[in-house]
Amino acid sequence: MTSAAETTDRLLGGRVEIRQPGSGFRVSVDAVLLAAAISLGRGERALDVGCGAGGATLCLASRLPYAELLGIDRDARMTACLQANISANNFTDRVAAETLDVAGGVPGHMRGAFDQVFSNPPYMPPHRADARTVGDAVSAATIESVPFADWLAFMVACCKPKGRLTIVHRADRLEELLAVVAEVAGEIKVLPIWPRAEAPAKRVIITARTGVQTPTELCPGLVLHAPGGGYTPIARSIIEEGEALSFGAAPG
């Protein structure tokens, strides 16, 4: 039974059930797009850093029925939600949740243990945050508790050699993000997300590989909304039908 402080919602056109807090930070389309950007081979493991209630973890588990996943978050209430969601979606044989603070460092069982590490990290550095809202639940999930460079270093430490890192983040921090990613990884690919065709990108998805040196590539992006409202056909196929988000040729 869902408590009054929580809601049960649906993602991927109803394929995924997610229990989450009824107020504060809630799963957004960013998590769905992040999951769509991940590909895994059979037998490979992936880690979701800062998983929240599990939006990206659950969507990825639904898209790839063989995926082995771990979601971590410092908020025990969120990992409890994820654990309940794992059971509700029948993912208990291959998805797990753990309460863990990135600021505490990488535990031994996670060091170099994952083929891919992905994250929808807090977007806002403290100096850009509205001090009047720092104490609320939304701010706790969206304002950086550690600098992005440290967050990414945690992800790298959890990744196998030549493993893949993937993040979704604010487009207006792209220069800073790329400078940090380039220090620890190569084969960087950047995919912009536009709310509408005529609007500036609000989000970017960045993927890279550790221990690789290859030039950065700006990929064809994704437009979310059509002029008349509603999702564009390609966005709908990803957000509602569970299709992959391609870092290759522009979608037709």
pLDDT (tens digit per residue) in 51-79: 999 999 999 999 999 999 999 999 999 99
Contact 193, 201 (CB under 8 A): yes
Instruction: Find residue 17's DSSP bridge partners.
Output: 10
Quick check: 41 and 214 in contact, CB under 8 A? no
CB-based contact 235:224 (threshold 8 Å): yes
Q: Taking the complete model, does pTM exceed 0.85, yes or no?
A: yes
Place of tokens 């990929």: 219
Which pLDDT belongs to residue 251? 44
pLDDT at 138: 52
pLDDT of residue 248: 76
Q: How confident is the model at residue 11 (pLDDT cuts 50, 70, 90)?
A: very high
Q: What is the pLDDT of residues 174-190, one digit of tens each?
A: 999 999 999 999 999 99
- Cα–Cα distance measured from residue 190 to residue 208, given in angstroms and rounded to the nearest whole number: 9
Residue-level pLDDT at 134: 46
Instruction: Find out whether 252 and 237 touch, Cβ atoms under 8 Å.
Output: no
Q: Quick: pLDDT tens for 81-126.
A: 999 999 999 999 999 999 999 999 999 999 999 999 999 999 887 7
Q: Give pLDDT, residue 91.
A: 98
Secondary structure (3-state) at 68:
strand
CA distances from 83 to 170, 205, 209 (A): 28, 26, 29
Residue 190 pLDDT: 98
Residues of the chain with pLDDT > 70, as a percent, come to 90
CB atoms within 10 A of CB 75: 19
CATH 2.60.40.1220: does it fit domain 6-239? no
Q: Above 70 in pLDDT, residue 133?
A: no
In the chain, the percentage of residues whose pLDDT exceeds 90 is: 80
What was the pLDDT predicted at 186? 96
- Residue by residue, what is the 3-state secondary structure of 70-139? EEEECCHHHHHHHHHHHHHCCCCCCEEEEECCHHHCCCHHHCCCEEEEEECCCCECHHHCCHHHCCCHHH
pLDDT score, position 117 = 98
The answer to whether 178 and 190 are in contact (CB under 8 A) is: yes
DSSP code of 251?
A: P
pLDDT (average), residues 125-150: 68
φ, ψ of residue 71 in degrees (nearest 5) = -110, 135
Q: What are phi and psi of 93, to 5 degrees?
A: -80, -10
